[in-house]
Amino acid sequence: MMPKLILILGDQLSHDLSALRAADPGDIIVMAEVMAEASYVRHHPKKIALIFAAMRKFAAELTDRGWQVAYTRLDDPDNSQRIDGELLRRAAEHGAKDIVATEPGEWRLIQILSQMPLPLRQLPDDRFLATHAEFEDWARDRKELRMEWFYRLMRRKTGLLMEGAEPAGGKWNYDHDNRKPAAPDLFRPRPPRFPPDDITQQVLDLVQDRFGDNFGDLLPFDYATDRAGALRVLDHFIEHSLDLFGPYQDAMLVDDPFLHHSILSPYLNCGLLSPSEVCQAAADAWQAGKVRLNSAEGFIRQILGWREFMRGIYFLEGPDYTSRNALDHRHNLPGLYWGAETRMNCLSHAVGQTRVHAYAHHIQRLMITGNFALLAGIDPAQVHEWYLEVYIDAYEWVEAPNTIGMSQFADGGLVGSKPYVSSGNYINKMSDYCKTCHYSVTTKTGDGACPFNLLYWDFLLRHRDRLQDNPRIGRAFATWDRMDKDRRDTILTEAAQFLNRMDAGETV
């Protein structure tokens, strides 16, 4: 029998992948490190290293299980440097006429695969908990798509944290017990680290050589690169961090980039862990009395709710979603996002840790880098590209709805019911950044005024027509209207001056 080709992409490293389940003995598994994928944006070097090292180790596991794997390394002389090119080359090599793939997580690659000159079946990616059809059915005829309602559907579907038809403890959402600031604590557990083995070291040398100029520090590299390591990270999180995840999930500290976060997105998103096993582990820990319910529920909601909801939106909205710009924002992304000096301590730290770890937690992404870009009116396409480049867990299906939708409101309110904007006050409440900042968070205008304070009003006023009737943000306009006219003029003048300095490339 003629063999089929079975494609496995760098973020599909799961042994129960639908394409693998469709494989017959004798089929050829195709995996390829290619420049087209490694350079469609200038990924953080740690992201490329994680994917290549994990791909090589996954391929070795498949070989051990008896599969025939045609693996292309980036520097193989015959590498066509494209996924479609490698499929065609392997098809010619093995006399294969059919290809089976699991649907990629990006429209760009779905289109490339659907234009192949050979018959290619794209199977559903059933590692997710909701199918496209389920999300479409849920979304159809709804005036507003709100994560909370979708999440309840998913709780019922999976039975996670359910007591019969009722949510465990009587409530669906325990967020009011969360959102506490954190104090520095030397004894807070750190995620496990994995010193590079030989395979990872070879990849690190390659990545240093080929992608060393991309933004971000390649070394030290201590992420896990196989399923066994990813499982250790999961166990460690459940054992040591989950119990306090809920209360401190919105907190930010200069000296602790990880706090009680799980750092599981790198592994979930490349396939080394499945969302259902991670959610189940958290539910089991609560059932065993090891962690509080508000933490287990808050954590499970991020995966069962937000992660699935974001994927649903990406596939519902189609390929043009990433070019939305509902607020018509046009400023260029300032150099401070690439590490140019800034006096804003919060941004300096959020970008700094992103450079080092290719990681920032949700509130840093949303309320520091995202908030500033939104307030300053940065072109959302540039913001989207930045997030896709700099984070180790960034793939378009999850990054785009978070950036274009939740963070930049560029979809006009599809993902979020209001723009996530705040003045410096929120940042001061939830972090220790302001204590050592050049700017003063309590100063609203004049010398040393925190830029978030100025830009917050400038943003609201620029979009007054759209926002003043929004029940979640409209009240701010009453505060503005009560302000003294001179003060209002000063705020808007100083905000404009700030943006001019930013656009001119001055240190702000």
Interface of this chain with ligand DLZ, residues 99 to 138, rule: CB under 6 A: 104-106, 109
Please give the Cα distance from 504 to 442 (Å, whole number). Answer: 27
One of 38, 182, 375, 414 touching ligand DLZ (CB under 6 A)? 38
Please give the Cα distance from 32 to 1 (Å, whole number). Answer: 24
Nearest to 154 by CA among 293, 318, 307, 14: 307
Please give the Cα distance from 119 to 96 (Å, whole number). Answer: 10
370 binds, among ligand FAD, ligand DLZ, ligand SF4, none (CB under 5 to 8 A by kind): ligand FAD
One of 251, 268, 491, 495 touching ligand FAD (CB under 6 A)? 268
One of 303, 368, 374, 491 touching ligand FAD (CB under 6 A)? 303
One of 4, 304, 424, 495 touching ligand SF4 (CB under 6 A)? 424
In whole angstroms, the minimum distance from the beta carbon of 433 to ligand SF4 comes to: 4
One of 406, 434, 441, 502 touching ligand FAD (CB under 6 A)? 406
Q: CA dist 337 to 177, 353, 387, 399, Å?
A: 33, 12, 10, 17
Tokens 């100029």 belong to residue: 213
User: Which one-letter DSSP state was computed for residue 435?
Assistant: G
Burial class (CB in 10 A: 0-12, 13-18, 19+), 332: exposed
Interface of this chain with ligand FAD, residues 316 to 375, rule: CB under 6 A: 361-362, 365-366, 370
Residue 14 touches ligand FAD, criterion: CB under 6 A: no
Buried b (16+ CB within 10 A) or exposed e, 143-181: eebebeebbebbbeebebbeeeeebbeeebbbeebbbee
Dihedral angle sign, alpha carbons of residues 39, 45, 51, 56: positive
394 binds, among ligand DLZ, ligand SF4, ligand FAD, none (CB under 5 to 8 A by kind): ligand FAD
Interface of this chain with ligand FAD, residues 127 to 166, rule: CB under 6 A: none
One of 99, 344, 358, 381 touching ligand SF4 (CB under 6 A)? 344
In whole angstroms, the minimum distance from the beta carbon of 437 to ligand SF4 comes to: 3
Nearest to 146 by CA among 399, 416, 402: 416
One of 233, 390, 427, 508 touching ligand SF4 (CB under 6 A)? 427
In whole angstroms, the minimum distance from the beta carbon of 216 to ligand SF4 comes to: 22
Residue 428 touches ligand SF4, criterion: CB under 6 A: yes
Interface of this chain with ligand DLZ, residues 439 to 498, rule: CB under 6 A: none
With contact defined as beta carbons under 8 Å apart, do 183 and 189 qualify? no
68 has which bridge partners?
28
One of 259, 430, 441, 508 touching ligand SF4 (CB under 6 A)? 441
Window of 232-240, 340-348, 397-405, 474-482 that interacts with ligand SF4 by CB under 6 A:
340-348
Window of 74-82, 322-330, 449-457, 464-472 that interacts with ligand SF4 by CB under 6 A:
449-457
One of 6, 9, 96, 336 touching ligand DLZ (CB under 6 A)? 9
Q: Enter the tokens of residue 101.
A: 């793939």
CA dihedral 223, 225, 230, 232 (to 10 degrees): -70
Residue 3 neighbours by CB distance under 10 Å = 19
With contact defined as beta carbons under 8 Å apart, do 121 and 100 qualify? yes
One of 3, 4, 6, 11 touching ligand DLZ (CB under 6 A)? 11
The pattern of x and - marking residues 317 through 356 that bind ligand DLZ according to CB under 6 A reads ----------------------------------------
Please give the Cα distance from 491 to 454 (Å, whole number). Answer: 6
Please give the Cα distance from 365 to 371 (Å, whole number). Answer: 8
Q: Which is nearer to ligand SF4, 128 or 433 (CB)?
A: 433
Q: Enter the tokens of residue 477.
A: 């306009």
452 binds, among ligand SF4, ligand FAD, ligand DLZ, none (CB under 5 to 8 A by kind): ligand SF4
Number of amino acids touching ligand FAD (CB under 6 A): 29
CA 157 to chain centre: 25
With H, G, I as helix, E, B as strand and everything else as coil, classify residue 99.
strand
51 binds, among ligand SF4, ligand DLZ, ligand FAD, none (CB under 5 to 8 A by kind): ligand DLZ
Residue ranges binding ligand SF4 (CB under 6 A): 344-346, 424, 427-428, 433-434, 437, 439, 441, 450-452
